[in-house]
Structure 1
Amino acid sequence: MDTRPPDRLVRDAAGVRTVDDLAALLRALRRRHARREGQRVLSYRVLATRAGWSHTAVAEYLTGKTLPPTDRFDVLVGLLGASPIERGVLASARDRVDERRRVTVPAEPAVDPVVRVVPRQLPPALGHFSGRRTEMAQLDRLAPDTGPARRTAPAGTVRIVAVSGTAGVGKTTLVVQWAHQVADRFPDGQLYLNLRGFDPDGAVTEPATALRLLLDALGVPPAQAPTDLDAQAALYRTTLADRRLLIVLDNARDSAHVRLLLPSSPQCLVVVTSRNQLTGLVAAHGAQPLSLDLLHPVDGAELLRRRIGQQRCAAEPAAVDEIVARCAGLPLALAVVAARAVIASQIPLVALATELRAAQHRLDALAPDDPQLGVRAVFSWSYQALSPSAAQLFRLLGVHPGPTVSAPVAASLAGLPVARVRLLLAELVRANLLNAYPGGRHGLHDLLRVYAAERARQLETGSALDAALRRLVDHYVHSAYHADRTLQPNPAPPVPGPARPGVVAEYPADSEAALNWFTIEQTNLDAVFDAAVVAGLGAEALHLTQVAYTYLDRGGHWSALTVMQRSALQLARRVGDIAAEAVANRNLARAYLRTNRHAEAHHHLEAALELEQSRGDLARQGLTHLHLSLLRERQDRHRDALAHGRTAYEFYAAAGDRRGEGKALNVVGWQHAQLGEFAETLDWCGRALRLLREFGDGPGQATTWHSLGYAYQHLGDPDEAAVCYQEALELFRRLGDRHLEALVLSSLGEVGHDTGDLAAAEACWGAAVRILDSLRHPDAEPVRAQLNGLTGRG
């Protein structure tokens, strides 16, 4: 009988209460048994072979992710070399565990799977599509099946169809209708992007923005997009290599507008629409041209019959012919007339034709040489049928510079309650004067936007238009403020002044909703920033750049962050706002720090510090010194980094900013750790954590937990280090900071390696590398070297 006295493993079993505790004991026993066998670690695969399980089941059991049946526990304890006394104590420990609990051990966190995104971005097809049989057949001939059997195009070429035609002729409708019919030819997805090449406000989707949106749709993380435009295009082509996608680039300004958006894979098909003949694409890229003309009267009449009804049209054929003629065969005009006829079902078609004839005569007198006279007449005619409130909302929608609006945005424009505005939006949609999109958003066709802006200039006073624009800017300032505060409650972003009467700000309920709001509104934020600058609303424009900072930084949108903060810096200098200039310098430096552009970061931090000194802003000087400490750390100048941290603490203390003191205390502690002074780290960071907890500062607590974990790790206490790292990891995940999440995973991998848990080390380092690679961050290389050294791939 084995009568060996219980060792530390058995004594520790007395404290077992959870699956996590039990898994830790089993891992320790696995390491001990491996040492007895002369191995560094007893692999999961070896245990699986002996136990008759899969190695995955063994790994899950030993890491505490699941608690298998009792017999599995007994088999593993036997295989791990426990003595009879140890087995009895471990069995008692097992019985104390609550089997219903599921935990994740810090050494093996969940990792994001690599998913190949299949975009399905085509807008809805038209339910009453008619005519265009010849053009549909042409598209089929010009864009044959791109399956494997047809991969005969030369390498590096791409199939392109260039569809051109006048505004409102139905280019988008035709292409989208056809695209839905052939979608199954493109199993890797369909991309759709409105380039807004003829937007009346000049808010064209430039190639840099277009590439960002396309990469987002393909599942490329925002941080993966480099700042250089050609590099972005190269990444886009790389992402599309060997994929079979249909890419619809709608409303291109000219051939140059889409040149960087063309893939190099012959398996892809690109369909470009434009009001211009895209001769450049035809000549340089072999695009197949398709010119779309006005509808033939027969097809125009068929469109009306499908929309209005066969019987009603058959009863008044002359009226149908006149309506088609008055609309000049333009599908958009016919669609608007059809909507009017459906809404006013009690009115004879001849009366509608007479009304349209009178409206056209009125526009003839105003603008006899207008080439869009027919469609403008239809718009005027349908617009006159709106209720006064809907007509005013239609006019004000022409003020909005972005592509789509939500109901709260429209309510802010009009200065009306959201419930009332939803009814007005529905009235505009029924009249075919407004498009409805998924997610409760709405947008104007570009011709309708022109008409709405014309009506606004003619019927609204200058003061009314100015007030609408100011309400719109206020809406985005306050909504972005609330979204930013949800993402980072402490420290709160700059508080905007009171919103103007009638503004309906949006209040995201949680961080997920806030991230979603920023993602949807990012394009609008850029457009509203430009509109605010043009309107002389410099303070509001600068506020937008500050409240968007957290979203762009944490999400890895560092290219967009750089562009926005450069604009903010120029604007702040122009309007003479020294405080905003300092903030823009520091935010721009942060973007440069994220991408290891140290020289530019130093320049802007010094500029920020000089401006803050001139204002006597002690707390802001402290914040800039924290950034300088980070810069010096990245340059391996840890004594200088420590000095900046201490200086930051002194400034915060002088300013009475206790939260800032907590952040500085952590930085000082961290730099002591970088210098090997780990006892000092525990002292400084312990004080920091108490302060940051007092203020509920999540980001500050996360970085401090990481500092403490690092100190414990190097003081030879891996268990305490793992606890601290896990706290940091959970906080960074909750905050959505992918970069810092990866750095903590790297540290957890080191703990696993140091304690002989090589499977845990591999899992953590692998997860860290995947995240850092997705961000295209240079920090990936040292972690990859560790991983390769562990797995023998180096």
Structure 2
Amino acid sequence: MAGAPSTGFEFRVLGPLEVLHCGVCRQLGHSGMRSVLACLLFEPNQAVSMDRLIDTLWAETPPATARTIIHGHISKLRKLFTAAPVTEGEDVPAIITRAPGYLLTVSSDRIDAHRARALIDHARGLEPPERSRVLSEALALWRGPALADIASDRLRRTIAANLDELRLFALEERIAADLELGYHQHLVTELSGLVDEYPLRERLTGLLILAHHRSGQRAQAQARYHALRERLSDEFGIDPGPELRSLYERMLRDDETLLAHHRESVTTTSAGDGGAHQVPAELPPAVAGFVGRERELAALDRILADREQGTANLLTVLTGPAGVGKSALAVVWAHRIAHTFPDGRLHASLRGFDSERAPLSPGEVLAGFLKALGVAADAIPVDLDERAALYRSLLADRRVLVLLDDARDTDQVRPLLPGSPGSLVVVTSRRRLDGLVVRSGARMLPLETLPASAAVELLDRAGVPGRSASEPVAARRLADLCGGLPLALRIAAARLAAGPGRSVAELVCELTDERNRLHGLDIDDPDTSVRRAFDLSYRNLHPAHATMFRLLGVMPGHTFTPHTVAALCGTDPDTARHRLRALALAHLVTESEPDRFGMHDLLRLYARELLAACAGTQDVSDAHCAETALRRLLHHYLVVADHARRFLRPARDELDYSGDGTTVRPYITDRTEALEWFDAEWPNLVAAIRAAHAEGLHEYAWPLVRLQFNYLMVRCPWEDWITVYSTGMASAGKLDDPAGKVLMSAGLGVAYARSGNPAMALEHYTSSHEGAVAAGRPSWLAMTQVNMGSALFRLGRYGEARRHCEEALETYRELGDRYREAGALNNLAQVEQVSGEREAALAHLREAEAMYREADDLEVLAMVLNNCGEVSTELGRVAEAERYHHEALEVAQRCGSAMRQAAANLGLGDAAALREDRAVARTRWETALAIFRAGGSPRAEDARTRLNALPHGHRAGLPPGAEGCTAGSGHSA
């Protein structure tokens, strides 16, 4: 087993959260950043949604700036990973943006919790001396309570509690191994303390009873049993479980086998009731190389524990898409718990989705089960109901495990259910058998794909051991290309094993081409193929559902809603929702949250293959071809984005889809709902823009980019902003569209200006200006001059900035455009402020303020109010400055702009410092610093400078015009 890494990064969560690099502890920052990292560490190489991160940090009361704060935490974590010196060949962790949130790529061996789980899993089946040693090694990884320094209650209740439970399980297993080795006398003291600490853990009590008994302390052993029995009866009204009762009864009988050391187990039970009934043992062999599924195994263990307490139903259903490993998990777990079902284990493959044979009828299955239970063939009833009744009668007083694999529907399963609580039934199906939940109270356990660490481990175990260690980056990429689907991973491993001279990187290169990936995941065995597994689910679909499934292959984003699917397929949202839920029942799509669906990457490729194969045939009309569907989807996004952006800021361009009635818009009636729509759809909008450009649909690409501008101004996702505008600029260039080239260049300039790169901003503004000059449109020319003025101001070229602002102001006044005039006035005021003309600056700012109030542009209004506050502060009018900043803060909160809220807090801190109220100043500046840092804003340094000056009794000067020119206001024409 892999030990702690000696070089590179190591992450410790079994105690206070620590990040080490080459053995040296790295500074992590405050609690929020630590909580975000903890969330990512517990699901390494899996996307963790933004909603889950928000819920973990703030539960039911997240701040309006929650997403921005998390963006900032992610940015700082990325810097933490990239700032450390990298040795050759070092596997550096990275956080990548992956819908619906973020994904941490890291080897699980670098996380102590995952190493502990691996050691505990490895200990199963080992001889007692080695088992004790391995479990002791795992237990040594705990440095105290898990996540001891994390403030998030939710993390402590869920993840930390599970880790503490894992430690107790490992401790019990190690003690059991030591008991087998005959160390009972030494264990009495340790176990006594543990039982006092955990008085309701029956297994610990059982281990202590056995240790007392073997040490000749029979009275103490009985006393421990009675103390637990009385406590359980008084507090819960229940008796100890059957294993502990059996141990007590054996002890009363002076069962000599209890004194045997090696191979004795606390959970040994009697072989049954001494009757002559037959004990079937039909479980198939466990799958070789089974890995991962710790969470699912723990959930199944909890179901079994609940059943023992009489609080759970006798039926559990494992569901999931084809190839996800439902049968493998069911069989592995069944073998693990077989000893708790002394009266037998029944198994039947129901052939619900067999490609060659019809599904088994319930009558056929019952006939087989009755024979296995000792009923003669001629005594088996002919009638189905009579067979089921006899089956239930035989199991009435027995403890039997029944495994029903590959069920087709609820009707196939229901006659096979025992009628008494002693037995347990486990069903697997690629359909969601909701009828068993409704009518039989089944526990549903959906299976998802494997995380990257387990996927890489499966590649090793099923293929060539050690191959992933020699090519770690390629192995992770191969696991990603297989989408964590166990069937695909086993096929890839088989291909590597069949060609020992072939590198992992070569197979990765082959599978990277999406057109060949499914073909590359086929092998000679016709029944072992990812495509064939998908075929068996697809061919049972209703024709309308099959058509929708094929078209979903066109969807560029990772998630989709009934509205977007309705546009894609040319139907209405209600019909789309109904069909999507039918596909979800077949596990061809997943519904991650109400009305938000997703699809596995390999299923997406499969859908595209089906669509391409049907193209031009009579089965598929032109309305159902890929390009037509993509055009419908892009048009839908144009209409809805235009509708939503108008709630955020005024639309000041010539793009207008408000009168379009060809698509059904989602329900958006105010600013909050508009922001929620943009937040949820943002990864899909980015993907749609890329798809439009890649498919040559440039007439959709740049307008769709432009329609995101108002959202970008509020949320400021710098990396995505630059990416989509660069794509939009390329599409505008392909079309040679003057408006597109001017607006895309201007938008890039705004992104660079607001992220602290005025030189790059000026370069793009200049390009936009040249396009406006060539077009000969005065309004465009003035807009670009306002933008250039803002960049020149930032670069200290005040004379040039003044000239551009004054010329733009004159043009806008001639055109009668008061909104754009406000932007020119604001920028001119910045130049006047830095030149010492503060009264003139304040007068111009007040004019701009009135105009932005008319336009109801809250985001820019907040900026101008902050600018008014800054100038008032410099004029010594502290009370007036505070009024401006307080209103700016209120307006910024209403519009959701984190950066404007930070600027308002900065200004309020400045005013408090002038009043010599240092406590208020510190609080305001610390708030501003936190928001600026979270948003990756260069203005964080302004707040830090002020805070650093506080202990010396000084007030750091506020740079004139620090809140800003309207580098985006003019662009928001």
TM-score clears 0.5: yes
Shift of 1:630: 1.8
| Among 230, 234, 238, the residue aligned to 2:82 | 234
- Within the candidate set 894, 897, 901, 1:741 is matched to 901
Tell me by how many angstroms 1:757 deviates.
Answer: 2.8
Structure 1 residues 234 and 638 mapped into 2: Cα distance closer, same or farther (>3 Å)? same
2:566 corresponds to which of 411, 432, 447: 411
Is the counterpart of residue 718 in structure 1 residue 878 in structure 2?
Answer: yes
Deviations 1:525-583 (A, max 9, x none): 22212222233321211122112233234323112211222222222212212221111
Where does residue 627 of structure 1 map in the other structure? 787
Is residue 642 of structure 1 aligned with residue 509 of structure 2? no
Higher relative contact order (CA 8 A, sep 6+): 1
Q: Note if contact 2:45-2:105 (Cα within 8 Å) is conserved in structure 1.
A: no
Mapping 1:692-731, distance limit 5 Å = 692-731=852-891
Q: Which amino acid aligns with 1:468?
A: A
SS in structure 2 of the partner of residue 437 of structure 1: strand
Q: Does 1:453 align with 2:608?
A: yes
The question of whether the paired residues in 2 share the 8 Å contact of 1:226 and 1:559 is answered with: no
Matches within 5 A, 1:156-175: none
Superposed, which structure 2 residues align to 1:65-214 within 5 Å? 147-148=14-15, 155=22, 188-189=38-39
| CA displacement 1:317-354 (0-9 Å, x = unmatched) | 59x9999799xxxxxx97337869989x9xxxxxxxxx
Within-5 A mapping of 1:311-390: 314-315=365-366, 335-336=429-430, 376-377=531-532, 379-390=534-545
CA distance change for structure 1 residues 673 and 474 in 2, over 3 Å: closer, same or farther? same
- Report the CA distance shift for 1:783/1:187 in structure 2 as closer, same or farther (over 3 A): closer
Deviations 1:453-476 (A, max 9, x none): 333331324553232211111122
Contact 2:862 2:892 in 1 (8 A): yes
CA drift at 1:685:
2.5
Q: Contact between 2:805 and 2:828, CA under 8 Å: does it hold in 1?
A: yes
1-structure distance, mates of 2:74, 2:673 = 27
The letter of the residue matching 2:636 is H
Which of the residues 481, 488, 496 maps onto 2:642? 481
1:655-694 matches, cutoff 5 A: 655-694=815-854
> Following TM superposition, by how much is the alpha carbon of 1:408 offset from its aligned partner in structure 2, in angstroms?
0.9
Deviations 1:261-294 (A, max 9, x none): 459964464999xxxxxxxxxxxxxxxx967998
Residue 534 of structure 2 is aligned to residue 440 of structure 1: no
> Could you tell me how far apart the structure 1 residues matched to 2:407 and 2:852 are?
73
| Cα 1:792–1:526 shift into 2, 3 Å | same
What is the match of residue 578 of structure 2? 423
Q: Is the 8 A contact 1:409 1:472 kept in 2?
A: yes
- What letter matches 1:476 in structure 2? Y
Letter in 2 for 1:335: S
Residues 378 and 717 (structure 1), Cα distance of their counterparts in 2 relative to 1, 3 Å cut: closer
Distance 1:650 1:754 in 2: 38
Give 3-state SS (helix, strand or coil) of 1:442's partner.
Answer: strand
- With over 3 angstroms needed to count, the CA separation of the structure-2 counterparts of 1:258 and 1:429, relative to structure 1, is closer
**Taking structure 1 as reference, are residues 678 and 248 closer, same or farther at Cα in structure 2, changes over 3 Å only?**
closer
1:689–1:371 distance in 2 versus 1, CA, 3 Å? same
| 2:546 partner amino acid | A
**Contact preservation (8 Å) 2:649, 2:856:** no
* Change in 2 beyond 3 A, CA 1:765/1:537: same
CA RMSD of aligned residues (A): 5.2
User: 1:264-303, aligned counterparts within 5 Å?
Assistant: 266-267=111-112, 269=114, 299=331, 302=347
- Please tell me whether residue 471 in structure 1 is matched to residue 629 in structure 2: no
Which stretches in structure 1 are left out of the alignment for 5+ residues? 1-142, 159-185, 197-204, 239-244, 252-256, 273-288, 327-332, 346-366
Q: Distance in 1 between matches of 2:637 and 2:17?
A: 49
Deviations 1:109-151 (A, max 9, x none): xxxxxxxxxxxxxxxxxxxxxxxxxxxxxxxxxx999624999
Q: 1:680 to 1:732 in 2, by over 3 A?
A: same
CA distance in 2, matches of 1:152, 1:660: 50
Q: Alignment partner of 1:486: what SS? A: coil
Measured in 2, the distance between the counterparts of 1:677 and 1:545 equals: 39
Per the alignment, residue 95 of structure 1 pairs with none
In 1, the alpha carbon distance for the partners of 2:876 and 2:79 equals 45
Q: Is 2:714 the partner of 1:554?
A: yes
CA positional deviation for 1:496:
4.0
C-alpha distance after superposition, 1:89-110 (max 9, x if no partner): xxxxxxxxxxxxxxxxxxxxxx
Give the secondary-structure state (helix, strand or coil) at the position aligned to 1:426.
Answer: helix
CA separation of 1:634 and 1:371: change in aligned 2, threshold 3 A: farther
CA distance in 1 between counterparts of 2:838 and 2:96 reads: 58
The TM-score normalised by the length of structure 1 is 0.60
**One-letter amino acid of the structure 2 residue matched with residue 755 of structure 1:** R
Aligned-partner Cα distance in 2 for 1:624–1:271: 60
Give the secondary structure class of the aligned counterpart of 1:408.
Answer: helix
- The structure 1 residue matched to 2:746, chosen from 570, 586, 592, is 586
Separation in structure 1 between the aligned mates of residue 585 and residue 79 of structure 2, nearest angstrom: 45
Alignment correspondent of 2:814:
654
Q: CA shift at 1:598, angstroms?
A: 2.4
Change (3 A) 1:624 1:639: same
Superposed CA deviations along residues 500-532 of structure 1, whole A, max 9, x for unmatched, are 84x333343333333332232222122212222
How many pairs are equivalent?
559
How big is each residue's C-alpha offset from its partner over 1:36-76, in whole Å with a ceiling of 9 and x where there is no partner? xxxxxxxxxxxxxxxxxxxxxxxxxxxxxxxxxxxxxxxxx
Which residue, 603, 612, 615 being the options, matches 2:763? 603
- Aligned-partner Cα distance in 1 for 2:875–2:329: 86
Greater CA drift, 400-409 or 783-792: 783-792
CA distance in 2, matches of 1:631, 1:445: 45
Tell me what 1:755 maps to: 915
CA 1:421–1:337: 2 relative to 1, 3 Å: closer
Classify 1:500/1:720 alpha carbon distance in 2 versus 1 (closer, same or farther; 3 Å). closer
1:567 counterpart letter in structure 2: T
Call closer, same or farther: CA 1:379–1:566 in 2, change over 3 Å.
Answer: closer
Structure 2 regions of 5+ residues with no counterpart? Answer: 1-9, 26-35, 58-66, 87-92, 118-288, 293-322, 333-345, 353-358, 370-401, 409-426, 440-521, 955-973
- Alpha-carbon shift at residue 770 of structure 1 (Å): 1.8
Q: Distance in 2 between matches of 1:468 and 1:792?
A: 65
State the SS of the aligned residue for 1:436: strand
**Structure 1 CA distance, aligned partners of 2:848 and 2:98?**
54
Matches of 2:751 and 2:896, distance apart in 1: 17
Residue pair 2:790, 2:801 contacting (<8 A) in 1 also: yes
